[in-house]
Amino acid sequence: MSDRLRVLAVGCHPDDLEILCGGTLARYASAGHAVVMAVVANGDKGHFEIPSDQLARIRHEEFRASAGVIGAETIYVGVPDGQVYPDHKTRCKLIEVVRQARPDLVITHDPNDYFGDHTTVSHLVCDASYLGAAPLFKGKQPAIRSVPPVFFMDTVMGVRFDPEHYVDISDTMETKLEMLAKHQTQLTWLHQHDGVDILGNVRTVARFRGLQCGVEYAEAFRTHAVWGRQATRRLLP
């Protein structure tokens, strides 16, 4: 990757990108590419005690702190948890995200992930990245020049995901964990609600993906393989 790329990663909740592609985003950033991290939902339901309004503010701050580890730009859409719907209003918001980022490639959730908010974001991003290049679809910002390729990141814990591409994150694994550790509310929530050590689990999944491709740690992706989205050069690190 000799040319400087603009990389847009769109996750549903404030910690999803770190869990699923944080090492890859760190690699892009360390190579001098522009990374834009966008989050659709505000994370206002992920706690036992903190009220939703306060939690949304905290999670926004955690997200910005995480992106700051690699110097990424941030876009925060702010849809309440559980209300990410495939409607016109939300689609228009995602189109504005794409047009603001002006990406050379997009990374987002796999359409087979475990939760409706995640799968809805996947479909919305695919639609928005196409319509974002339609000049007559009017919005606040001008249309992008071409439809970008889309890569689906691994599902949570790799369930029902068959990788097509791997990215070696051996050198950025600790950065990935540093980013994820900024989400302290979620480390607590996932432990108390699900009995999950998310930092440990993320390392385990990365180690398993690394074993599949012959490196210490890796992240897995697959291509949104439809007409108009194929590239003749490798865009992933």
Q: What confidence tens digit (pLDDT) does each residue in 140-170 have?
A: 999 999 999 999 999 999 999 999 999 999 9
Q: From residue 157, how far is each of 11, 18, 179 by CA, in Å?
A: 16, 13, 18
| Average pLDDT value for residue range 200-214 | 98
Backbone angles phi, psi at 169, to 5 degrees: -115, 25
pLDDT band at 1 (very low <50, low <70, confident <90, very high): very low
Sequence ranges of the domains in the chain: 6-223
List, for residues 47-73, the tens digit of each pLDDT value.
888 999 999 999 999 999 999 999 999
Rounded to whole angstroms, the Cα distance separating 42 from 82 reads 10
Backbone angles phi, psi at 107, to 5 degrees: -120, 135
Contact in structure between 23 and 219 (CB atoms under 8 Å): yes
Of the candidates 209, 133, 219, 129, which has an alpha carbon nearest to the alpha carbon of residue 169?
Answer: 219
Q: Which token pair is 8?
A: 């847009």
Fold of 6-223: Rossmann fold (3.40.50)
